[in-house]
Amino acid sequence: MPLPRFRIGFFALFALIFAVFHADVVRAETDVYTIERVAVDVTADSAAAARERALARGHEAAFRRLIDRLVPEERASSVSVPSYDSIANMVRDFEVFDERTSSVRYLAELRIRFQPQAVRRFLRGRGVTFAETQSKPVVVLALYGAAGDAVLWEEPNPWRAAWAAAAPSTGLVPFVIPFGDLADIRAISAAEALDNDGAALDRIEERHGAGDVLVTQAIPAGDAQAGQASAQIITSRIGTAAQERTFVDNVRQREGESLEDMLGRAVAKVAREVEEAWKRANLLRFEAEQGMSVEVPIAGLDEWVSVRRRLESIPLIGAASLRLMTRDLAEVDLTYYGDTEQLRLALAQSDLTLKEGGASGWTLTAAGSAASSAPVSGNGGEVDGGDPETAIERGPEAAGESEGADSEEDRMQ
């Protein structure tokens, strides 16, 4: 007996959905596993020899930066950089920019894309835990001065200037430094930032498309001109409940160091603390595999496609299998690594909210979903998820990555 047209149409659409969806997973992984702006400058007996050594050093430097991005600081230093040939086996491709040569010198800038599965095998084979989940942007509100005199947007504000001058974040937590234009000034004041005013924090967060706010206050002391300056730094990450915490640091001016350089060191320290806290909360624990069934309210097929793409871009999720789909509800079986709170945090970075409820015990809602406030009927137009094409499994060792090294011609673009 032929299937009804409605069901046939849905199965055909699913094939297209999963093909498009796989491409999105690659893009998401590439962001984390791509190392930008790797500068090389090598002199050798000939231009060819200089280029060969420069590429080797560039790959080694990129690998080191990737390890520092993924692995907690206390463990990263113990991960030895392997040989150039071994690194090349973990590289998907690389690009060369601003190439300049002489008869004995080679200068360039590289962008190197690593194969996620190859790097995972390398780290897991050495018993190294690591994180891949990228945080939503964090907007930085840098205040300078004690509570009553603290400035945020006014000048001078050496603490905000130090954040603005810092190199862009290359870790898993992207920082956004507001310009302090009229819209920023209207969104939040120094007093509101210090008081953790929820409405004001929401305004500045929304304005910059951020997930959390970092309120960081530098309280100066001493005379910088005499080389005796110091500062107490009080920093709070506000927003995601699992990441809300406060760091307190103290920095002192070193001999011959300017106030700007001292505050620059403090910026690096605070950023590192935020990064490390994020990594520790998002370590992939492949040995702690768990399962969960969730109901996903949807307002149509397009919305389901969007949710499915987000699910498969989350490293913590090993598999997402569709069991049943109606016009306004999808029932999905998730396999994930770690505990439920880790899963909640990872989902939140993709604007997905996991809550207890529903017939299966859990409900997953996409931000802005038209179905989130509508009643779920759960009937009509069912699509059985039993077809093999509707169950995509990634697992800790996902297939589809090349085992061997690409040739230089294949890797160069």
Digit-coded pLDDT (tens) for 256-310: 999 999 999 999 999 999 999 999 989 988 888 889 999 999 888 888 888 998 9
Report the alpha-carbon distance of residue 196 to residue 32 in Å, rounded: 31
Question: Residue 18's pLDDT is what?
Answer: 36
Q: How far is CA 204 from CA 102, 129, 177, in A?
A: 50, 35, 11
Q: Is 17 exposed, middle or buried (0-12, 13-18, 19+ CB in 10 A)?
A: buried
19: pLDDT confidence band, cut at 50, 70 and 90? very low
Residue 397: pLDDT band with limits 50, 70, 90: low
pTM: 0.76
Select from 223, 288, 294 the least CA-distant residue to 252: 223
Pairing of strands 105-114, 91-101: antiparallel
Examine residue 156 and say whether the peptide bond preceding it is cis (omega within 30 degrees of 0). Answer: yes
Biggest distance spanned by C-alpha atoms of the chain:
90
Lowest mean pLDDT among 9-23, 57-71, 183-197: 9-23
Q: Which CATH architecture has domain 138-281?
A: 3-Layer(aba) Sandwich (3.40)
- 128-142, pLDDT tens digit by residue? 999 999 999 999 999
pLDDT of residue 124: 92
Residue 377 confidence (pLDDT)? 43
Residue 174 or 241, more confident:
174
DSSP 283: B
Q: What average pLDDT does the segment 220-236 reach?
A: 95
- Name, in order, each residue with C-beta under 8 angstroms of 273's C-beta and a sequence gap of 6 or more: 235, 247, 249
Q: At what angle do helices 5-32 and 301-312 cross, to 10 degrees?
A: 30
Instruction: Summarize the confidence of residues 208-227 as an average pLDDT.
Output: 95
Q: What is the pLDDT of residues 37-58, one digit of tens each?
A: 999 999 999 999 999 999 999 9
Average pLDDT over residues 8-33: 42
Higher pLDDT: 411 or 32? It is: 32
Instruction: Note whether 345 and 351 are within 8 A (CB).
Output: no
**Residue 247 pLDDT class (50, 70, 90 cuts):** very high
Quote the pLDDT of residue 190: 96
Which uninterrupted H or E stretch holds 262? helix 259-281
Q: What number is the average pLDDT over the span 58-84? A: 95
